[in-house]
Amino acid sequence: MRNLKLPPYPFRIIEKEGKQYIFDESRNKWILLTPEEWVRQHFFRFLTEDKGFPKALIALEKKVLLNGVTLRFDLLVYDRKGKPLLIAEFKSPQVAINQQVFRQASRYNEMLLAPYCLVSNGLDIFLCKMDFGNRSVEYLTDIPEFQTLNQ
């Protein structure tokens, strides 16, 4: 798999029937290793190991129902009160981060109203702070520690 603009981590990877699988520590199971999954697993480790996000407050690939349509977000971080804090949408490193990707993440967040939205392909990383009252977005230059976001 391709190197990303995230620290390298030791992953458990196996091969079965010509396909690679990565052990997902969050879901406690083996997952088919796709380029998008590679990005998702790196971000899970980055958030938990480098930014102090509690593993228990992170959900990976959960479904939400929005206007009768079932959507599945890539990663959702809850705050200590159980409310959505950060939603993330990941793409393969080969997929450019464009307006369509931002719209997809925003659509998922319409129901969740997480104040932070992360979009990345592992090479380009964008974190936005949402102000729903003023209908504005502030782009952050770094991903803060969990304690900073959860104030």
Per-residue pLDDT of the chain (151 residues; tens, 9 = 90+): 788 999 999 999 999 999 999 999 999 999 999 999 999 999 999 999 999 999 999 999 887 776 777 778 899 999 999 999 999 999 999 999 999 988 888 888 887 899 999 999 999 999 999 988 888 889 999 999 999 987 7
pLDDT of res. 64: 73
Do the Cβ atoms of 64 and 70 come closer than 8 Å? yes
CB atoms within 10 A of CB 58: 20
pLDDT of res. 6: 95
Do the Cβ atoms of 52 and 143 come closer than 8 Å? no
**81: Cβ contacts below 8 Å, ≥ 6 apart:** none
Domains in the chain with CATH codes: 34-149 (3.90.1570.30)
The reply to whether the predicted model has a pTM over 0.75 is: yes
What is the C-alpha separation between 88 and 65, in angstroms, rounded? 17
Sheet-wide strand order for 116-120: 58-66, 69-78, 84-90, 116-120, 125-131, 136-140
Amino acid at 67: N
Do the Cβ atoms of 52 and 146 come closer than 8 Å? yes
pLDDT of res. 110: 81
Do the Cβ atoms of 11 and 65 come closer than 8 Å? no
What is the C-alpha separation between 101 and 83, in angstroms, rounded? 23
